[in-house]
């Protein structure tokens, strides 16, 4: 089910490859099943938590000012 304002393409996931040191993979594996049922789910959950915790933070605002990221119109968030 799409939320208001969403279109079908905004719900599609894009696959990416992540390379981590062995020690970090052990941490990721140790977070199963708390943050997801697989390594990709754990990584996705961690990224989503970080984004949710940091949107609007000073770090994100600085990155936007440096034009390192573009989160779009603030009124649309």
Which residues are CB-neighbours of 77 under 8 A, at least 6 positions away? Answer: 55, 71
What is the pLDDT, as a whole number, of residue 4?
A: 56
Q: What is the largest CA-CA distance in the chain?
A: 41
Domain ranges within the chain, ordered by starting residue: 19-76
Please check the confidence at residue 16 and state whether its pLDDT lies above 60: yes
What is the pLDDT, as a whole number, of residue 5?
A: 55
Give the pTM.
0.60
Paired tokens of 36: 């997801």
pLDDT tens readout for residues 24-75 = 999 999 999 999 999 999 999 999 888 888 776 788 888 888 988 887 765 5
Cis peptide before 56 (omega within 30 of 0): no
Paired tokens of 57: 């933070």
pLDDT band at 9 (very low <50, low <70, confident <90, very high): low
């Amino acid at each position: 089910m799409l939320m208001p304002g969403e279109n079908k393409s905004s719900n599609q996931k894009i696959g990416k490859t992540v390379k981590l040191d062995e020690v970090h993979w052990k941490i990721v594996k140790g977070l199963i099943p708390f943050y997801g049922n697989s390594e990709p789910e754990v990584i996705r959950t961690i990224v989503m938590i970080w984004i949710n915790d940091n949107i609007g933070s000073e770090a994100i605002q600085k990155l936007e000012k440096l034009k390192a990221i573009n989160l779009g119109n603030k009124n649309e968030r």
